[in-house]
A = this chain, B = another copy of it.
């Protein structure tokens, strides 16, 4: 259902701008939200958009992907096989903190008299900039300009330019550059943050768990500080160093007191003379280096950063983004009318930019549900990556897509162990994890979501089809396919009650409002594909690469009979049969349930999970997020548009969209079945998810999956692309006020640009020779640099 009919971001905060998110004034009420929205990250390191002075602050946050503490999960009542090890991403040292004192008065935003204020997230430059002109009670004016970035070029490096100028006065100016363990960052009202967290099950705080700090290590203006996690035994070292440029006189002093360190620059500021400080920051962890070598690595990174210099780093940042936008930008032009003209373009770019920040240098890590923008979902990796983020990456950055699939492969052994623990053959990928161990402490909406096995294999298949990367398929994919197919084949059964069809019981589909059900349609369809693809791949491998096949057999003890069994299971997979109205039941019991009383559920009682006992939710016909509808999208080639429409009609009013993963899919399917108004509303919901704080929890971090979903809304939804079996087809139709949608795609080494207008589409093959695509029902063979323009049929 459409719950949010007039979603718009607060315009006074984000005036429309094609490439920037601009805040024109300091809005304390939006502090928590803007800390997320102005986050910087490069996939390895992330910093929330906290003010550089550290105050005011809702939740200070610096995260290194996959750097986590683990803890034994405590259950009120435990049972066999419950997940044992919780994992939470660590909020590491705050190295960006810089304090300013003029005439010994601290600069403190909330009470400062600001003659001008601008904060800008620049999506072309990859920087967060702020410029304020502060008038002190004494009448002195102080211009403070800062730019910060997390380097895409230098994975372990962040840098800050902090520049203070007194246009007309002199004064003693103190710039104090800090490095503090985050738990001690008293500037942040941690108590409040924890209190505000309340009992929202989607958040967790490590504040009550102890990290072991190392003693600070001082080398002139350079300071290192480290920590070791108590239980996961991971080590981290953070270092800062400084360059100061000014014609004013200054002294420097480095202080370390009680585990807090700072370099203090005391400057006699002269009128109009800028005081320019560059701060270089590095983080290294024991994931890539021996704990004792972390500082050595840190020194090297700081040396390189300082030798390169801030300006050059800025340039390389721009180059990386130029490359990113070239590969990934979606031009979305509207008709320019109304006060919100340009809003969609801006929001879309912001989503894409955050996707880049979440994935660019993840290398060896996954994509946390919130990227590196907050501690929501504890920095865990879910199916979000494969189903929501990978389509974007597969078509715009296949190398990164491959890294992420490879990262899943690294977890395969843990998945095998988990399967053995649960007396199953094959492997069970964890529903949520950082280190590969299942970390879901609530099995009904965790362990029971076995579909993640099939989701990962679905993404593998899409990657292989879109890239043609058989090497990856054979070297890593096949082994995962064998183990996941085994799981499906072993956990279901041929049921006499269902005419000998293969049933899968006791699972939870994507919809977490109907858990532990039998024959979830989504799961069965996805498992079926998983099994078929596994059989097909093993067969092809045996033919194409007999030696690699032998290796696979050796590694997995694969028997021929298993492959036959997978085929038989796939063929006889039970899909809850449609009733006379053509509705695919979500599971065996969904349609038996009591209707939810939507009429008497006020808007402030959503999401339902925060206001109702799970049992109450589960016993009603109410859906958190698309489930059958998602299956009809992912396995769309198996169903007619007519059937999709009927099912959309049935399920849409029952779907609360309490999950951010829902709107994008609803938009895509609505577009496919011709419900353009709904496609627009849901699309807007997805695209503005975070900027307009649709779910009310953007303070906890960006909804990265929904961001991937916005790319899908444009490409699969409005451009009507489908890629079943790797063959691209398009049925574009621009919605509402959009007049142009233009984006590039990488397909098996080709680069295709799709430029949709109101009446026609132009397909241009920018790289590669000959690519066959379908435009509506017409097959077109594109040749390089020979644009083909085709009309969009009228409805």
Contacts and interface: CB of A to CB of B under 8 A. Distances in A.
A756 B614 CA distance: 52
Nearest to A614: B79
A76 interface: yes
B79 A83 contact: no
B589 A588 contact: yes
Nearest to A447: B615
A145 B6 CA distance: 86
Contact of A612 (B73, B81, B589, B613): B81
A505 B75 CA distance: 26
A448 B615 contact: yes
Contacts of A81: 612-616
A169 interface: no
* Of A79, A441, A447, most B-chain CB atoms within 10 Å: A79
Contacts of A80: 199, 609-614
Contact of A75 (B76, B589, B592, B618): B76
Contacts of A151: none
Interface in A600-644: 609-616, 618-619
A591 interface: yes
Interface string A43-86: 00000000000000000000000000000011111111111001
Contacts of A76: 73-75, 83, 86, 440-442
A503 interface: yes
A505 B79 contact: no
A294 B137 CA distance: 67
A75 B441 contact: yes
Interface in A528-579: none
**Copies of the polypeptide in the assembly:** 2
A649 to B, nearest CB: 18
* Of A442, A445, A498, most B-chain CB atoms within 10 Å: A442
B447 A613 contact: yes
Contacts of A591: 497
A589 B590 CA distance: 12
A518 B593 CA distance: 9
Contacts of A112: none
B74 A74 contact: yes
Interface in A488-512: 492-493, 495, 497-498, 503, 505-506
A516 interface: yes
A487 to B, nearest CB: 13
A422 interface: yes
A423 interface: yes
A350 B430 CA distance: 50
A417 to B, nearest CB: 14
A609 B442 contact: no
B516 A615 contact: yes
A615 B613 CA distance: 20
Contacts of A447: 613, 615
A5 to B, nearest CB: 27
Contacts of A615: 81, 443, 447-448, 506, 516
B78 A503 contact: no
A83 B75 CA distance: 12
A139 interface: no
Contacts of A86: 76
Contact of A506 (B201, B423, B610, B618): B618
A530 B606 CA distance: 34
8 contacts: A80-B614, A422-B613, A443-B614, A444-B444, A448-B615, A493-B594, A503-B592, A506-B615
Given A79-B609, A82-B613, A506-B618, 10 more contacts: A75-B442, A76-B86, A76-B442, A77-B446, A80-B611, A422-B613, A447-B613, A497-B591, A505-B594, A518-B592
